[in-house]
């Protein structure tokens, strides 16, 4: 048995142990989906970051650094601004409202102030979550296949199936508590890997000055953050689009429920400092690995394999095995949360609230576990077809979720005249604007990131329709 495989097996055993340790919290909906709202700040912080970044960070963002050079650092700025805004604008108010209304899901928050007698808000929210989460999980399954294929030489389809068995398995057994504590393990590993790999790549290149010299010879635009990208795209649109990648942090439900799961308001205050500090190392490390990797290994057919390539070529086998674990950690820490998000939408929002079942909490929690497996299997079947670009696939899902829920949640938390119609219009309009822009307009407008029109339309409809439909004093 290879050293790399041994390291992987040890890591997976740790995850399984955490899942069984967490089982006692999975017999109620609040326990299975929010760990009873009792998590300490350090778990909330690492779980938020690990969930938000995914395989997109280690494969997609490092691949972007490889492809476009230092321009990718604009994404770093956008990500840091986005996570900071989420912690400072959303987290504490959402936590207080969630506790006051016994909310378990984001649709619980969106309907807390209204009598949603037709359950339209919940119905639309469930549809959006299921569509986007399936696409998002598919992208992560693709990432797991690429990672196992690159490190272990496995057949791609086999790699996807093997990775999915462990991810779905520990999520099924341990619920949100297992997911959150495994996120801590995974987040720490990601942090260490994103310090070690870029540092080794720069050292192997002879220093940062040598990296810059090498990239200048390949293409001077690779070391110019203000370069015009993609064959004539206006630089302002490119920069604004990169910065806007952080916008969905304000609305993606898999992150918002992290705030709701904290023990109390004091834990939120401490968690945001840890989270923002770690995010700097996460994002800057991924881009730097890609940029320095371009100097060492120019001409890769697939830029999104640069992190595994660096790991395999710059480190001994035992460290390379640990870096495989880092890549899988990034993937798993997002997939498990997405599976729980989709499961909660079906069981809590659709079955319990819309259909109005009288089943016990224990029965509903068991149904949630089964739904977790079903959604995971659907994503695996789609991932086996191997969509090509993890970066683009994740961004589409990320922007769709953020555009749907970001403006509506901010309206619920801050706008006193918010109405049922405003929430429904903002959620539906933001989502549709993001999807329509991506499908029909993005290519004609120099690749302007779809979350920008999505958030614009979402805010305009949330506040505009609420103003029109609120009672006049």
Q: How far is it, in rounded angstroms, from Cα 58 to Cα 7? A: 19
What 3-state DSSP class applies to 338? helix
SS3 155: coil
Q: Which two tokens stand for residue 19?
A: 């899942």
Least Cα distance to 470 among 427, 411, 429 occurs for 411
- Round to whole Å and give the CA distance between 53 and 331: 8
Give me the pLDDT at residue 149, please.
78
User: Which residue is listed with tokens 């923002």?
Assistant: 276
Render pLDDT for 241-286 as a digit per residue (tens, 0 to 9). Answer: 889 989 999 999 989 999 999 999 899 999 999 999 999 999 999 9
pLDDT at position 278 is 93
Write down the pLDDT at residue 182.
Answer: 80
Residues of the chain short of pLDDT 50, as ranges, are 229-231
8/104 Cα distance (integer angstroms): 34
Question: How buried is residue 415: exposed, middle or buried, by Cβ count under 10 Å (0-12/13-18/19+)?
Answer: middle
- pLDDT of 73 reads 95
Q: Could you give the CA distance from residue 246 to residue 279 in angstroms, rounded to a whole number? A: 12
What pLDDT score was predicted for residue 9? 79
DSSP class of 70: G
Q: Which of 376, 425, 461 is closest to 137 using CA atoms?
A: 376
Alpha-carbon span 222 to 268, nearest angstrom:
39
CB 263 within 8 A of CB 98: no
Burial (CB count <10 Å: 0-12, 13-18, 19+), residue 81: middle
- The residue among 403, 302, 327, 290 whose CA lies nearest residue 50 is 327
* pLDDT the model gives residue 429: 97
Residue whose pair of structure tokens reads 């077809």 in the numeric block: 385
Model pLDDT, residue 460: 97
d(CA 122, CA 130): 12
Residue 392: the pLDDT is: 62
Looking at residue 238, what is its pLDDT? Answer: 81
Q: Please state the CATH superfamily assignment of the domain spanning residues 3-390 in this structure.
A: Sodium/glucose cotransporter (1.20.1730.10)
DSSP 220-262: GGGG-TT--BTTTB-HHHHHHHHHGGGGGGGT-HHHHHHHHTB
- Rounded Cα distance, 94 and 84, in Å: 15
Q: What does the radius of gyration of the chain's CA atoms come to, in whole angstroms?
A: 21
pLDDT for res 26:
60
């Amino acid at each position: 048995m290879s050293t790399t495989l041994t390291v992987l097996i040890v890591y997976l055993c740790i995850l399984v142990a955490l899942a069984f340790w967490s089982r006692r919290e999975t017999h109620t909906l609040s326990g299975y989906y929010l760990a009873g709202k009792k998590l300490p700040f350090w778990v909330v912080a690492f779980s938020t970051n690990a969930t938000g970044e995914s395989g997109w960070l280690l494969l997609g963002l490092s691949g972007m650094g490889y492809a476009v050079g230092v321009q990718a650092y604009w994404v770093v700025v956008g990500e840091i601004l986005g996570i900071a805004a989420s912690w400072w604008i959303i987290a504490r108010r959402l936590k207080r409202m969630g506790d006051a209304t016994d909310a378990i899901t984001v649709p619980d928050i969106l309907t807390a102030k209204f009598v949603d007698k037709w359950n339209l808000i919940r119905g639309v929210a469930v549809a959006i979550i299921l569509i986007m989460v399936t696409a998002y999980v598919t992208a992560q399954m693709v990432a797991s296949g690429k990672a196992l294929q690159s490190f272990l030489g496995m057949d791609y389809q086999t790699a996807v199936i093997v990775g999915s068995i462990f991810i779905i398995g520990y999520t099924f057994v341990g619920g949100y508590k297992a997911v959150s504590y495994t996120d801590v393990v995974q987040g720490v590993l990601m942090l260490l890997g994103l310090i070690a790999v870029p540092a080794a790549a720069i050292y192997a290149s002879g220093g940062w000055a040598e990296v810059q010299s090498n990239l200048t010879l390949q293409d001077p635009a690779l070391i110019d953050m203000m370069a015009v990208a993609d064959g004539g795209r206006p630089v302002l649109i490119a920069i604004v689009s990169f910065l806007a990648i952080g916008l969905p942090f304000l609305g993606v439900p898999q992150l918002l429920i992290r705030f709701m799961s904290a023990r109390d308001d004091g834990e939120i205050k401490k968690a945001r400092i840890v989270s923002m500090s770690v995010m700097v190392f996460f994002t800057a490390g991924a881009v730097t690995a890609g940029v320095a990797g371009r100097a060492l290994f120019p001409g890769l057919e697939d830029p999104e394999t640069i992190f595994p390539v660096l790991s395999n070529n710059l480190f001994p086998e035992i460290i390379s095995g640990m870096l495989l674990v880092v890549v899988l950690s990034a993937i798993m820490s997002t997939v498990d949360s997405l599976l729980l998000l989709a499961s909660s939408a079906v069981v809590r929002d659709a079955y319990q609230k819309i259909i109005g079942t009288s089943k016990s909490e224990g029965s509903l929690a068991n149904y949630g576990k089964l739904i977790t497996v079903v959604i995971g299997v659907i994503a695996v079947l789609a991932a086996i077809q191997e969509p090509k670009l993890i970066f683009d696939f994740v961004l589409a899902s990320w922007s769709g979720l953020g555009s749907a829920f970001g403006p509506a949640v901010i309206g619920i938390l801050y706008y006193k005249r918010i109405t049922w119609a405003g929430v429904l219009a903002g959620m539906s309009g933001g989502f549709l604007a993001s999807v329509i822009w991506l499908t029909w307009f993005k290519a004609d407008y120099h690749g302007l990131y779809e979350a920008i029109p999505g958030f614009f339309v979402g805010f305009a409809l949330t506040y505009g329709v609420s103003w029109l439909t609120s009672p006049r004093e």
